[in-house]
Structure 1
Amino acid sequence: MVLMLWTLCKPFLAILNSCLISMLRTPNPYLPLWRSVLMFWIMILLILVCINSMLIGQI
């Protein structure tokens, strides 16, 4: 079950990571946008960690 969830979330995380890296590479004056994207990425990771811990607790 955890492996299936990870396989479903892996492409989404890869796309999010590539978007974040491309935004950080291009010189952009919108610094708050970088900060919000970074916070969004951290929140996604925290949600995935919570889901994984709940699934591991059910096994």
Structure 2
Amino acid sequence: VTVTWPDGGTRIIHFHDGKPAGSDSSDEFRFTREGSLNMIRIGVSERFEITDQLALGN
């Protein structure tokens, strides 16, 4: 999944078997799941909420 910011910057979040697996950042990657929602944190300032539907392309 590619997230694009208004300034044109991007963050790529990789999924494996439908679960968050990493990103293109060298900062710490961690996630929790709540139902079909993946709550992802990268470093101390980035937070993303990505649904299974988006991650799986459904």
Question: Which band: TM-score by shorter chain?
Answer: under 0.3
Higher relative contact order (CA 8 A, sep 6+): 1
Bigger Cα Rg: 1
TM-score calculated relative to the size of structure 2: 0.24
